[in-house]
Each structure stands twice: as C-alpha cells, then as structure tokens.
Chains A and B, each alone.
Chain A
C-alpha cells in the first residue's frame, strides 16, 4: 500500500485548518471585545495589552474583528465550495455517465460559462442582485462550477467504462444504482480533493467581493471588508491591512497544501493488481 502515510506537511496544514475552524466556531468566547463596538477613546491605537492588534479607524478591536471575520470567511468558503461542487459534480456526473445529447448540452453550457470573464460576471451578479448571503453564493457558484464539472466528467468517464461497471450492469443494476454504488465511491477521492482546492479559491473570491463592497457588508467583520477599511491607513498603520491579509493568505495556502497532501493520501491505486 502506498500513500497511506501521514506526512508532516499533511499533519501541519491540517492543524492550521483545525485552528481556523476552532477560531471560527469559538469566536464569541475567544474575542475580548464586541467586534462592532466603536470606541472614540481608542481610535487607531497601536498594539497593546488591551488591544493585541490595535484598533481601527473607528476604534474597533482588530483582534476581535479578525476572530469574527474567520467565521464569515470560513462559512462562505465552505458553503461556496459546497454549492460549486454540488452543481459542478451533478452536471459532470450526468454528462459523463449518460453521454450523448445530454452531455453535449451540458458541455455547451460549460463552454458558455467558461467564455464569460469570471470576475466581471461575479461582480455583475453580486451588483445586480444586491449584497447578501444568497447572491454571494450564487455569484461564486455560477462562475466556478465549469472547471469542477469538466474534471468530474473526466473522472466519471474513466470509471464509466471500467469493466466492473459493465459487469454490474450485466447483472441487472440500473443507472441510479450504478451511479450511487459504483461511480460515486470511485470518484470520491478526486471529488474531495477538488472540493478542498475549491475552498481556497472561493475564499479569495469572497474576499475580493467584500473588498469591492459587493460581498459581506460593513459593519460586519469579514477579512475582505477589513482590508477595504484599512486601505486608507495602510502607510501609517500597516497592521490593519496585514493582519486580515495574512489570515487570508495563511488559510488559503494551508487549504491548498492540505488538499494536495490529501490527494496523495487518498489516492487509490488505479490498478493495484499490476505489481511493480
């Protein structure tokens, strides 16, 4: 058996992700201040015992906002990636498995959506529908399902013509049964890895939307919003921008690396009977 060892990188990045998840869940208990509480006495305060990362232009505690921001960012990253996966995987599986006209129609859809410039479309969608959880998720999903669906389709095609699928069909299994019991489990490792990688991209997309004022709305704490708020004071108070920026960078790098390691860990030997 190869690839079943937990590498230090896998464990390390996994630990980073766990910390971020824990912070997101426990923010109300960890944060020393209300993230939206304005204080006129402590505007743009430097780092201190009272305010670990100082305060922003409205006197809000940056550390507390960072912790609450993890909530919003992690939620949107997970949910956005999940929606992308559901739509992309559904269409990819249907197209790859059934082929023919169905597949061709789905591929036409994929090409149309791939032809549209992703970021502009996302901004346009979020702008037209107005800011809100639903519109952020929809914008993120509609702009990123195509690559997902293409990869899933390719994976399904690999398994679709495997002899064991033919064998189980010859035993009288229906399409639904084959898809659920044979195709999905065999493409699951790839699906999980694709999903983790997607989480990183969605995190960046949502941060960009928030930065542009189309995502999470002020005063709610979100890393993208915090960067937007901080950009005017960047030269004099760089930590206001560096703190959320570092969080976004750390989380997305950790997710990407973890996804990579996960792929190695989950990789089922394609043809285990070929010893070598």
Chain B
C-alpha cells in the first residue's frame, strides 16, 4: 500500500541553451519495508530520480510520468501538499552531512526545528531530539546537540543528519549517497544506522555508487545508466548473477576485485 511506484518517469532540465534529459522512461517499484538501492556511475541520473520523488528539483526541471504513493500521484501534488508530505511522510538525507546543516545554528536546534514548526512544545521536542540522537548511537547527545555541524566528525555529522531526517518518523527515507567521502569504518557505522532504521520500519530508497553498501544493505537494486534502468532485481541475485555486461563491468571495477586481480598478477595464483 505504501509502495513508491514510479511509472514511466522522465526528467528534463531546461537550461538556457540546451535541454538535458537526465532520466528516461524509468519504471520502478520500491516496496515498503525494504531498502531499494539505486546504483550507477556518476551522472547516471540516480540522484535526480531520488529527488524528483520529493519535488525538489527546482523550476528548470520538467518531470513526466507518474510516481504513485498511497493511491496518489506525487507529481500532481501542489507545493503545499508536497510540504505536508516532506519530512513527515517522506524524508530526504542529502549527500554531504557537513553542508546539510546551517553553519550558523546548533545541530540540536536544527533537529528540533521541524517538530516545533509543526506545533510541538519546545521541551517535548528537545526530549525527542535527545532520545533520537541516543538511539543513533551517540553517547553524549547533549554535547552533540550543543555543537555546530562543523565541530562534528564526518561520521557524527552523518548520524546527526540521520536524526534530522527521521525525527518526524517518516515512512520513507530517501538517502543520497550516504557514504560518500567516508572511510571504511564510517561506512560500516552508516550501514549499521540504516539497518537500525529499517528495523524501525522505515522504508528506504538509497542512491549510491558504493556497491559494498548496496550489497550489504539493499533488498532490491536497480542499476541506472544514462538515465535508464539497465537491470533490476533482488540484491543477492543481482550481485551473484549479473545479467547485463554493464553490471558485470561495475562489479569488476570494485576496488577489492581490482586488488585481488593485482595480487594475482603480483604473487601468482597460489
């Protein structure tokens, strides 16, 4: 019922001298309760597709097709209807956790802000914010709440951002490259957080080019190339038996595969 059903979605950007078609006729069903991964190389249109769900693409973008959610077409919503949906039903976690917080305001203040804007009392909102931060693995939520985003480490900022995204207890979470620029240990932490969110019943659409994360976390995966889906299926199957040459190439380009190949060349096939 709460599935996100994209049908024949195309996105064009009307730029001054040219028209860029970022997404071409994509049909994809993201099931509620699951993590759907959108993978592909940079510029394949995966972020654009993720953002088009929330109507955040700006005036130059033209979206056609339909995105069904709860028996409604999201693309037909007015700005006001979108606003009600954003954050409380479908939340979005932007790419860079450092720049996703206003540098002038403290992290805690920003996390409680959407709650208070929707009428919650300050003390209650603060309580909920601290609980949420603690749930996401912060030992000292008060210290984090009293920090500015640039005072947090990359992993902490990512967790704080997850708290910001999920503070209104949304049904859906759209995460845009949640592990971009993080090292292996922090990527592990992020994966743990997203697993936790899934246990809480949050459905997710995860845009990533981190194939390890996708393999470890996603239930289903869609592979995007040049704005079209070239392959789609359950994650385990897709990684075990990639059908298309493109997916096979993507898998072969993984750093660990490359490292194994290098070792093979250097030390022979022992």
Q: B-contacting residues of A (Cβ < 8 Å)? A: 99-100, 162-164, 166-174, 177, 181-182, 185-186, 268-269, 272-273
Contact = CB atoms under 8 A, between A and B. Distances in A.
A172 B79 CA distance: 10
B56 A171 contact: no
Contacts of B74: none
Contact of A167 (B85, B92, B150): B92
A163 B99 contact: yes
Interface stretch (B101-109, B182-190, B205-213): B101-109
Contacts of B94: 163, 166-167, 170
A186 B102 contact: yes
B204 interface: no
Contacts of A169: 56, 86
Contacts, number: 77
- Interface extent on B, as a size class? 20 to 34
B96 interface: yes
Nearest to B85: A172
Q: Is the interface of A mostly helix, strand, loop or mixed?
A: helix
A115 B104 CA distance: 38
B95 A163 contact: yes
B104 A185 contact: yes
A123 B145 CA distance: 56
Contact of B86 (A170, A181, A273): A170
Interface in B106-122: 110, 113-114, 117-118
A272 B150 CA distance: 6
Interface string B132-168: 0000000000000000111000000000010011001
A185 to B, nearest CB: 5
B4 to A, nearest CB: 15
B116 to A, nearest CB: 11
A269 B103 CA distance: 9
Contacts of B91: 170-171
A272 B96 CA distance: 14
Interface of B: 54, 56, 58-59, 83-88, 91-92, 94-96, 98-104, 110, 113-114, 117-118, 148-150, 161, 164-165, 168
A227 B187 CA distance: 72
A167 B164 contact: yes
A166 B91 CA distance: 12
Contacts of A273: 98, 149-150
A14 to B, nearest CB: 24
B226 to A, nearest CB: 25
B117 A177 contact: yes
B168 A167 contact: no
Given A170-B87, A268-B103, A163 B56 contact: no
A156 B210 CA distance: 34
A100 B165 CA distance: 29
Contacts of A171: 86-87, 91-92, 113-114, 164-165, 168
Nearest to B154: A273
Contacts of A162: 99
Contact of B84 (A99, A172, A269): A172
Contacts of A173: 83, 114, 117
A172 B83 contact: yes
A100 B14 CA distance: 12
A268 B104 contact: yes
A172 B85 CA distance: 7
Nearest to A175: B79
User: Lowest 6 CB-CB distances: which A-B pairs, in order?
Assistant: A170-B92, A171-B87, A172-B87, A273-B150, A163-B99, A172-B86
